[in-house]
């Protein structure tokens, strides 16, 4: 893993884990010293996180993007509608063997499983559930 990828991954984890809070200021020098990285990889990591909407430029520095609670609420309502529809269709399948696959996904994690792996398995679970529904629009809505 390159230095840039390492810094990007660690910063993402800190932001998503709320170790660095929304609206908090970030300086390249702090990141350099925190992760023992040089300026170029730090800037590249910040630019990549900016494209994801996790950080934004603030004059000469950077700021962790604020959390928009109204937007999160709207997303939750949308996801609930899409996923409930996918669940209903999937539960109506005559072949139940496909459901065994998603059950195995959930059982693959336990208390010792790292948070990043839980996140990946959770994403895969929801995408697979939507795919099993047989509805291409629901599948794309969850996947994208």
DSSP for the chain reads --HHHHHHHHHHHHHHTTSS-TT-EE-HHHHHHHHT--HHHHHHHHHHHHHTTSEEEETTEEEEPPP-HHHHHHHHHHHHHHHHHHHHHHHT-S-THHHHHHHHHHHT--TTS-HHHHHHHHHHHHHHHHHHTT-HHHHHHHH-
Per-residue pLDDT reduced to its tens digit, 115-126: 888 888 989 999
Q: Where in the chain are the domains?
A: 3-64, 69-143
How high is the pLDDT of residue 64?
95
How high is the pLDDT of residue 72?
86
- Given the candidates 2.40.50.140, 1.10.10.10, 3.40.30.10, 3.40.50.300, the CATH classification of the domain at 3-64 is 1.10.10.10
pLDDT in tens, the chain (144 residues): 899 999 999 999 899 888 999 999 999 999 999 999 999 999 999 999 999 999 999 888 999 999 888 888 999 999 999 999 999 998 888 777 877 888 888 899 888 988 888 888 989 999 999 999 999 999 999 998
């Amino acid at each position: 893993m390159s230095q840039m990828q390492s810094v990007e991954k660690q910063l993402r984890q800190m932001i998503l884990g709320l170790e660095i809070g929304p609206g908090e200021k970030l300086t390249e020098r702090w990141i350099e010293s925190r992760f023992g990285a040089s300026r170029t990889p730090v800037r590249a990591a910040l630019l990549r996180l900016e494209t994801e909407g996790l950080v934004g430029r603030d004059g000469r520095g950077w700021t962790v993007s604020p959390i928009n609670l109204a937007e999160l609420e709207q997303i939750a309502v949308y996801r609930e509608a899409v996923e409930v529809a996918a669940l209903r269709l999937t539960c109506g399948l005559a072949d139940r063997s496909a459901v065994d696959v998603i059950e195995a996904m959930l059982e693959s994690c336990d208390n010792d499983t790292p948070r990043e792996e839980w996140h990946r398995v959770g994403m895969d679970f929801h995408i697979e559930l939507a795919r099993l529904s047989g509805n291409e629009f629901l599948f794309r809505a969850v996947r994208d």
